[in-house]
Amino acid sequence: MSQMSHSWDPDRYLTYADQRGRPFADLLARVPAEKPRTVVDLGCGPGNLTALLADRWPDAAVTGIDSSPEMIAAAREIAGVRWEVADLRDWVRPDPLALRAPVDVLVSNATLQWLPDHIELLPRLVDRVAPGGWFAFQVPGNFDEPSHTIRTDIAERTPYAEHVRDVAVPSSHEPVDYLRVLLGLGCEADVWETTYLHVLTGPDPVFDWVSGTGARPTIQALPEELRGEFEDEFRRLLREAYPADPSGRVVLPFRRIFAVARTAAS
């Protein structure tokens, strides 16, 4: 069944830019490539993190790719990177004429979880990496947490269910699953997980976080006459699941899964 399309809001996504950016920095720190010629960021979003790749490897040709025209429009304000609107699944399609040069460093940060079959795409992603090159990705691993399960529970109710049954819903696998696939592809691989404890402030901060990412497709799919009611209930239940302390601070635990793989040298 096809999934309904949605659009992204760069400004809303960047509300927690520092906290969202930390996993990218932690991932990048484990990629020891010295002088890559080509670096690609698949699912680059508004480009603020892709710019770190250009800073890390100033002599490389860095390309940021995202399927969202809104995200790429925001990214184009950042110099030093080539930006492209494209679907990740199209980017990894086989190239029978071998017209596309391999990539020395391929990065995908918090993107693969939007593709239900992404673990089956890993061989094609690895194929796009040059011999001895690096493939690094990070995906959320917190889909059994209230920040996601509450959305699912509400979305299954009448009258919302008929409007959101086909929306995109993120998911991921366990670290060992990614490790086995990467090792089976002949890569050297390092896979690990980290749970960040994000300290958030302001009214309904967890709602603000998830409504800019994982819950956005669901909220967008609802007609206006239902959206406000859905959001009110979502906010209320999130406040119960993530209560503020006396100082107004809310702690959002966020598990993330990382993988850094080096392809076999030719």
Encode pLDDT of 210-226 as tens digits.
988 878 899 999 999 99
Contacts of 215 (CB under 8 A, 6+ apart): 151, 234
| Mean pLDDT of the region 121-149 | 97
The pair phi, psi for residue 148, each rounded to 5°, is -110, -40
Q: To the nearest whole percent, how much of the chain has pLDDT over 70?
A: 92
Determine if the peptide bond prior to 10 is cis (ω within 30°).
Answer: no
From 9-23, 137-151, 197-211, the region with the lowest mean pLDDT: 9-23
Neighbour count for residue 145 (Cβ, 10 Å)? 16
CATH class for the region spanning 10-262: alpha beta
CA pair distance 92, 38, nearest whole angstrom: 16
- Residue 112 DSSP code: G
Q: At what angle do helices 224-241 and 146-155 cross, to 10 degrees?
A: 140
Task: Look up residue 88 and give its two tokens.
Answer: 């990740």
> How confident is the prediction for the chain on average, in pLDDT?
91
pLDDT category at 2 given cuts 50, 70, 90 is very low
Checking if the pLDDT of 136 tops 60, the result is: yes
pTM: 0.91
| Mean pLDDT of the region 12-35 | 85
Encode pLDDT of 57-81 as tens digits.
999 999 999 999 999 999 999 999 9
Checking if the pLDDT of 98 tops 90, the result is: no
pLDDT category at 3 given cuts 50, 70, 90 is very low
| Mean pLDDT of the region 192-197 | 97
From 17-31, 93-107, 147-161, 209-223, the region with the lowest mean pLDDT: 93-107
pLDDT of 1 reads 30
Contacts of 251 (CB under 8 A, 6+ apart): 197, 198, 199, 200, 242
Contacts of 185 (CB under 8 A, 6+ apart): 122, 123, 126, 261, 263
| Mean pLDDT of the region 29-57 | 95
Checking if the pLDDT of 101 tops 70, the result is: yes
Checking if the pLDDT of 7 tops 80, the result is: no
Q: At what angle do helices 118-127 and 175-184 cross, to 10 degrees?
A: 40
